[in-house]
């Protein structure tokens, strides 16, 4: 489990205060809870789920998500959308598989239709930290309203937060009152 972390971006911070980066350039999302640091053996479990279809790790990871942070007031659970092309290649969306048991356990609706990835861009993991921000511009579109809803976004790994920021910005443009990220693992900031 993670130690004290920034309540906005989940990077380790002494005392668990909001980090300097989030104070100077606040992201579109309001909070992030990460179950684990992105390190062995969690990194291998996430990769097994994402690239080798090991759905057997979902119960463990979903239970860790359930225990990772307070989600009071959430009105809907939104798994990180995949572009249609990537969904066809992979055959499933790992974020949906992680979000499904969480939504069921919390009695929240699982949103699978209102938000989508409309651009197929290079995978974030293939880009530098700087390139990740510009890679996400215009990637998401919303076909409905989230007026007044606290949206709980579920994803597997948060590295720079660029993807989560881009999604949260679209959600807020469509009325979301709050966006909280719930991620399996948080990658530490690299210099």
pLDDT in tens, the chain (191 residues): 578 999 999 999 999 999 999 999 999 999 999 999 999 999 999 999 999 999 999 999 999 999 987 778 999 999 999 999 989 988 999 999 999 999 999 999 999 999 999 887 656 556 565 665 565 677 899 999 999 999 999 999 999 999 999 999 999 999 999 999 999 999 987 54
For the chain, how far is it from start to end, CA to CA, in angstroms?
A: 23
Query: Is 161 part of a structural domain of the chain?
Result: yes
Query: Is 89 part of a structural domain of the chain?
Result: yes
Query: Is 27 part of a structural domain of the chain?
Result: yes
C-alpha closest to that of 180 among 101, 69, 95, 16: 69
CB contact at 8 A, 80 and 154:
yes
Q: Could you give the 3-state DSSP secondary structure of residue 16? A: helix
Domain assignment of residue 56, given as a range: 14-186
Q: Could you give the 3-state DSSP secondary structure of residue 155? A: strand
Query: Is 82 part of a structural domain of the chain?
Result: yes
Query: What's residue 108's pLDDT?
Result: 96
**What is the C-alpha separation between 28 and 166, in angstroms, rounded?**
7
Please report where in the chains the tokens 């976004």 appear, as a residue.
153
Q: What is the largest CA-CA distance in the chain?
A: 43
What would the two tokens of residue 100 be? 């499904």
Query: Is 30 part of a structural domain of the chain?
Result: yes
Number of domains composing the chain: 1
Query: Is 3 part of a structural domain of the chain?
Result: no
- CATH number of the domain that residue 174 is part of: 3.40.50
Query: What's residue 1's pLDDT?
Result: 54
Q: Are strands 140-142 and 150-158 parallel, antiparallel or unpaired?
A: unpaired
**What is the C-alpha separation between 39 and 141, in angstroms, rounded?**
32
**What is the C-alpha separation between 142 and 123, in angstroms, rounded?**
21
Query: Is 43 part of a structural domain of the chain?
Result: yes
Query: What's residue 191's pLDDT?
Result: 44
Query: What's residue 134's pLDDT?
Result: 60
Query: Is 9 part of a structural domain of the chain?
Result: no
């Amino acid at each position: 489990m993670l130690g004290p972390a920034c309540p906005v971006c989940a990077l380790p911070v002494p005392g668990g205060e909001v980090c300097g980066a989030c104070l100077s350039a606040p992201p579109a999302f309001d909070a992030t809870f990460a179950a684990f640091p992105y390190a062995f053996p969690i990194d291998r479990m996430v990769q097994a789920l994402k690239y080798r279809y090991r759905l057997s790790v979902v119960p463990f990871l979903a239970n860790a998500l359930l225990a990772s942070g307070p989600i009071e007031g959430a009105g809907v659970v939104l798994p990180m959308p995949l572009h249609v092309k990537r969904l066809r290649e992979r055959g499933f969306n790992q974020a949906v598989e992680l979000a499904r048991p969480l939504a069921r356990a919390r009695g929240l609706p699982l949103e699978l239709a209102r938000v989508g990835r409309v651009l197929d861009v290079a995978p974030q993991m293939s880009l530098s930290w700087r390139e990740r921000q510009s890679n996400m511009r215009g990637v998401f579109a919303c076909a409905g309203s989230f007026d007044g809803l606290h949206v709980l976004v579920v994803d597997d790994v948060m590295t720079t937060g660029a993807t989560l920021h881009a999604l949260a910005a679209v959600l807020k443009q469509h009325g979301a009152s709050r966006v909280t990220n719930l991620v399996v693992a948080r990658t530490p900031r690299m210099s």
